[in-house]
C-alpha cells in the first residue's frame, strides 16, 4: 500500500505546473492576465518548490510522512479546483500556490520515505516514483489542451487534475505501518547542514541540472521557431525530449545502485556536448530530433540525483537534510536560468550567449557531479542531534 501511495502521489507532483503551460494563452485571455503576470506564473512553481520544500523536513518530523502527504494531496486538490474558478488573477496565483503544495512537499518527503521504509530498495523505489513523476508531467502537458478543446472550457480542463490527486490520497488513508515499519525511529534533525561541503555540492548539481531543464522547457520552441521551424513541429521536438526522459528515468536509478553513480553520471553527461552544439549550430534541421533526444538523456541526471539523496546519507535524517537543502536552494538557481536566457537574448538579439550559458551550466553540473558521485556521507561531516 505504501508503494502504491508513493507512486500515485508522484504522478501529481507536476500536473499543476504543466497543465497551466498547455493552455496559457486561453488562461491569459480568460483572466485578462498581463505578460508580466504570466511570467510570474511560470516562475511560481520554482518559488513554491524552494519555499515549501524548505519547510517539508520540519513538517515531516512533526506530523510524520502519512499525514504530511495526505494533507498535501488534499490541499492540492482544493487548490486545483479553486484556481480553476478563480474570478481574478490575484486569486488564481494564490490558489496556484495551494495546487503546488503536494509537489513542493513531495519532492523532499518522498526520498525520506524511501530511505526510511525501503533502505535496501532505494534504486527500485526511486525508479518507480521518478518514472511516474515523468509520466504525470507528460500526460498533463499533452492532455490539457485536447480537454480544453473537447469541453470548450479551460476551467474544467484545469480542474480535472484534482481527480488523480484525490485518488492518490486513498492509499495513504488505508496504509497502516506494519510491525517492522512501526519500529523505525522517527525522523530526526541533522544540524549545521550549511557546513557540509556535500550538501552545497548537491545543491549546485541539483540547481544546474534543473536550470538546464527549465531553459529547455521554456525556450526550445522559441529557439526552433527562430530557426524557421513551425510551431507544431517545434512543439513535437519538445515532446521528444519529454518522451525520451520516461524510459531513461526507469533505468537510471537501478543502474546507479547496481553500477555505482559515477559511470552512470558520465554516460548521461556525455550527451550534453553534442546536444548543445547540435541545437545551437543545426537547430531546425532534419537532425533536430537527435539533439532533443540527447538532451532528454542528459537531463535524466535528475533521477540520478534523487537516488543520491538516499545513497549519500546513512539515516532518514541525513536524506531529509540533503533533499531539503539541495532542492530549496537548487530551485532558486533553476528559476534564474530561464530568466537569464530571456534577459541575455533581449540584450544581444542572438542565441549564442544563451547557448554559452547552457554550456556553462553543464560544466558546473559536471564538476559538482564528480564530487557527489564519490562515496561519501553527510553524517560523516555533521554531528546528528
Q: Please report, rounded to a whole number, the percentage of residues in the chain having pLDDT higher than 90.
A: 38
Q: Poorest-confidence range of 49-58, 267-276, 356-365?
A: 49-58
DSSP state of 349: S
Every domain of the chain and the residues it spans: 2-182, 193-380
Torsion over CA: 333, 103, 106, 370 (sign): negative
CATH class of 2-182: mainly alpha
The rounded distance, in Å, linking the Cα atoms of 341 and 334 is: 12
Confidence of residue 188 (pLDDT cuts 50, 70, 90): low
pLDDT in tens, 196-205: 999 999 999 9
- What pLDDT does residue 18 have? 82
Torsion over CA: 227, 229, 234, 240 (sign): negative
- Among candidate residues 154, 106, 139, 174, the one with its CA nearest the CA of residue 327: 106
The rounded distance, in Å, linking the Cα atoms of 36 and 131 is: 33
Q: Poorest-confidence range of 54-58, 215-219, 380-384?
A: 380-384
Q: How far is CA 43 from the centre of its chain?
A: 13
pLDDT in tens, 93-121: 899 988 888 788 887 788 888 888 888 88
pLDDT in tens, 246-265: 899 889 999 999 999 999 99
Q: What is the mean pLDDT of the chain?
A: 86
Q: What is the mean pLDDT of residues 29-41?
A: 76
- What pLDDT does residue 50 have? 81
The rounded distance, in Å, linking the Cα atoms of 141 and 119 is: 33
- What pLDDT does residue 180 have? 44
DSSP state of 184: S
Q: What is the mean pLDDT of residues 45-70?
A: 81
CATH of domain 193-380: 1.20.1250.20
The rounded distance, in Å, linking the Cα atoms of 293 and 238 is: 9
Burial class (CB in 10 A: 0-12, 13-18, 19+), 98: buried
Tell me the sheet residues that pair with 384: 190
2-182 and 193-380 agree in CATH topology: yes
What the block records as the C-alpha cell of 330 is: 537548487
The rounded distance, in Å, linking the Cα atoms of 366 and 258 is: 21
Q: Poorest-confidence range of 1-5, 28-32, 164-168, 285-289?
A: 28-32
Residue 208, C-beta contacts closer than 8 angstroms, at least 6 positions apart: 333, 361, 362, 364, 365, 368
Radius of gyration of the chain (CA): 20
Asked if residues 279 and 79 have their Cβ atoms less than 8 Å apart, the reply is no
Amino acid at each position: 500500500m505504501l508503494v502504491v501511495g508513493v507512486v500515485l502521489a508522484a504522478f501529481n507532483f507536476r500536473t499543476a505546473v504543466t497543465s497551466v503551460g498547455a493552455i496559457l494563452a486561453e488562461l491569459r485571455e480568460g483572466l485578462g492576465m498581463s505578460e508580466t503576470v504570466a511570467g510570474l506564473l511560470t516562475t511560481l512553481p520554482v518559488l513554491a518548490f524552494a519555499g515549501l520544500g524548505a519547510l517539508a523536513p520540519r513538517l515531516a518530523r512533526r506530523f510524520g510522512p502519512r499525514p504530511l502527504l495526505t494533507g498535501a494531496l488534499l490541499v492540492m486538490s482544493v487548490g486545483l479546483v479553486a484556481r480553476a474558478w478563480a474570478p481574478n488573477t490575484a486569486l488564481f496565483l494564490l490558489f496556484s500556490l495551494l495546487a503546488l503544495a503536494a509537489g513542493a512537499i513531495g519532492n523532499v518527503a518522498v526520498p525520506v520515505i524511501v530511505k526510511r521504509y525501503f533502505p535496501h530498495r532505494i534504486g527500485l523505489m526511486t525508479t518507480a516514483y521518478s518514472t511516474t513523476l515523468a509520466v504525470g508531467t507528460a500526460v498533463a502537458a499533452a492532455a490539457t489542451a485536447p480537454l480544453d478543446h473537447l469541453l470548450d472550457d479551460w476551467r474544467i480542463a484545469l480542474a480535472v487534475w484534482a481527480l488523480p490527486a484525490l485518488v492518490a490520497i486513498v492509499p495513504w488513508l488505508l496504509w497502516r505501518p506494519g510491525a517492522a515499519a512501526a519500529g523505525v525511529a522517527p525522523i530526526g534533525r541533522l544540524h549545521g547542514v550549511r557546513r557540509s561541503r556535500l550538501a552545497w555540492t548537491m545543491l549546485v548539481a541539483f540547481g544546474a541540472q534543473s536550470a538546464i531543464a527549465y531553459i529547455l522547457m521554456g525556450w526550445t520552441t522559441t529557439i526552433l521557431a527562430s530557426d524557421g521551424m513551425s510551431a507544431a513541429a517545434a512543439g513535437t521536438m519538445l515532446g521528444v525530449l519529454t518522451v525520451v526522459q520516461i524510459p531513461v528515468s526507469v533505468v537510471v536509478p537501478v543502474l546507479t545502485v547496481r553500477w555505482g553513480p559515477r559511470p552512470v553520471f558520465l554516460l548521461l553527461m556525455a550527451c550534453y556536448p553534442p546536444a548543445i552544439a547540435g541545437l545551437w549550430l543545426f537547430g531546425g534541421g532534419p537532425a533536430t530530433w537527435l539533439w532533443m533526444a540527447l538532451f532528454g538523456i542528459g537531463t535524466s541526471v535528475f533521477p540520478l540525483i534523487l537516488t543520491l539523496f538516499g545513497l549519500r546519507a546513512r539515516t532518514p535524517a541525513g536524506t531529509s537534510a540533503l533533499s531539503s537543502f539541495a532542492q530549496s536552494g537548487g530551485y532558486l538557481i533553476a528559476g534564474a536560468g530561464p530568466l537569464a536566457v530571456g534577459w541575455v537574448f533581449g540584450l544581444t538579439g542572438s542565441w549564442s550567449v544563451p547557448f554559452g550559458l547552457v554550456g556553462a551550466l553543464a560544466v558546473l553540473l559536471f564538476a559538482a557531479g564528480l564530487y557527489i558521485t564519490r562515496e561519501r556521507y553527510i553524517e560523516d561531516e555533521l554531528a546528528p542531534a
